[in-house]
Amino acid sequence: MEKILVWNNKGGTGKTSLTFQIICDYAYRNPQKKILAIDVCPQANLSELLLGGLHQGGSSNLLKRQGENPRASIGGYFQMRLPFPYAVQKFDASNFITTPYQFNSFIPQNIDLLCGDPMLELQANAISTLANNQIPGTNTWFAVISWLNDFINNLTEDYDVIVFDANPSFSIYTQIAVAACEKVILPVMADDSSRRAIQNAFSLIYGLKLPSDIYSKYNFPEKLKEVGQPLPKVHLIIKNRITQYMGAASAYATVLSSIDREVKNLVSSYPDIFTFTENDIGIVEVRDFQTTGVVSAARGCPFYMLKAGRLDLLGHRVQIKEENRVNCIENIMQVNSKIF
């Protein structure tokens, strides 16, 4: 089983739309594989996409699942854990899982979903408090940080791939996701804040280049090391929304080159936290999906299922060019060739 996290602590990098396309394309081209998407995000945008998008009532479908008893979402699972946070209870993980195909026929049948939930924000303070309790003989932090690992261990389905989509924060629920994964995919954009975000991500997950030694004993990686839990490795950096009109003298190119240098230096200095040894292997560029991406997301329809031509979108006619659609498909296939 592969466990992959798509995350960046900077918003606006196209993380969720990339995750949606990556999961769907991989499932479509590998029908013998079973995939579980875990939406560790209060906005639950990935869940809405998989359940139909704006055009097919994805938000309403998500609310239906959140209205089940038990609540069929990550928030429902965490709610079950809150009264007894440090003991692994017997539970049926399938009660919390949704099969998107039952709501959205565009989605391959071999994808399951643990829906996201706005309750995560309400639960975050309670979960953090529980993790920081002092109980003799109990590592409360590790017990809480292992909640998603406990969930995975209770799965009755044999999944080949689990993909976590986490929001741009490093709150306690994001840390729970990081602790459950083995590989990290970092989407970035051609701006200087993305370069800084890479530095921040490596500080948060790996404790690199901390501003002061005072943080060293409190940080996430040190706590995991204390209990012998391995850290995930950076598997791929996606330069997202790279426009086809970029020239060699472009300001974008300057920023992207600085990101390349930053990654190269990190790989050279800390090779153990990467699955790759060269930038050519661990970095991939993706063009801006433009109108094709907007329509795909709004309809909850992966690129390979979209039809070229004029499509209806909430009462408006939108033009999808075949050349752009094919480019989008090829971009995602290239990304997946480096992930799987």
How many angstroms separate the Cα of 338 from the Cα of each of 152, 237, 309?
25, 10, 31
Contact (CB, 8 A) for 172 and 178: no
Element (H, E) at 310: strand 309-313
For position 193, what pLDDT does the model report? Answer: 74
CB neighbourhood size of 22 (10 A): 23
Confidence band, pLDDT 50/70/90 cuts, at residue 314: low
Is residue 254 over pLDDT 80?
no
For position 249, what pLDDT does the model report? Answer: 46
Percent of the chain having pLDDT more than 70?
Answer: 94
Measuring CA to CA, which residue among 10, 302, 19 is closest to residue 181?
19
Number of domains comprising the chain: 1
For position 89, what pLDDT does the model report? Answer: 80
In whole angstroms, what is the distance from residue 176 CA to residue 32 CA? 29
Contact (CB, 8 A) for 188 and 8: yes
CB neighbourhood size of 274 (10 A): 20
User: What CATH number is given to the structural domain containing 279?
Assistant: 3.40.50.300
For position 256, what pLDDT does the model report? Answer: 77
Confidence band, pLDDT 50/70/90 cuts, at residue 72: very high
Question: What does 196-210 look like in DSSP terms, one character per residue?
Answer: HHHHHHHHHHH-TT-
Least confident of 119-128, 303-312, 313-322, 325-334: 313-322
* Sheet-wide strand order for 183-188: 111-114, 35-40, 161-166, 2-6, 183-188, 233-242, 283-287
**Residue that wins the pLDDT comparison between 313 and 127:** 127
For position 248, what pLDDT does the model report? Answer: 43
Is residue 214 over pLDDT 80?
no
Q: What is the pLDDT of residues 97-106, one digit of tens each?
A: 999 999 999 9
For position 25, what pLDDT does the model report? Answer: 98
**Residue that wins the pLDDT comparison between 155 and 90:** 155
Query: Where in the sequence is the domain holding 314, given as residue range(s)?
Result: 2-339
Confidence band, pLDDT 50/70/90 cuts, at residue 288: confident
Measuring CA to CA, which residue among 51, 187, 182 is closest to residue 111?
51
End-to-end CA distance of the chain: 11
Helix (H, G, I), strand (E, B) or coil at 66: helix
**Residue that wins the pLDDT comparison between 318 and 139:** 139
Question: What does 79-109 look like in DSSP terms, one character per residue?
Answer: HHHTTSTTS-----GGGG-B-GGGT-TTS-T
**Residue that wins the pLDDT comparison between 213 and 331:** 331
* Beta-ladder partners of 128: none
Which of 326-329's residues contact partners 24+ apart within 8 Å by CB, and which partners?
Answer: 327/287, 328/21, 328/287, 328/289, 328/292, 328/293, 328/296, 328/303, 329/25, 329/303, 329/304
Average pLDDT over residues 26-48: 97
Average pLDDT over residues 148-164: 95
Sign of CA dihedral 101, 103, 107, 111: negative
* 181-190, 253-262, 330-339, range with greatest mean pLDDT: 330-339
Q: What is the pTM of this model?
A: 0.94
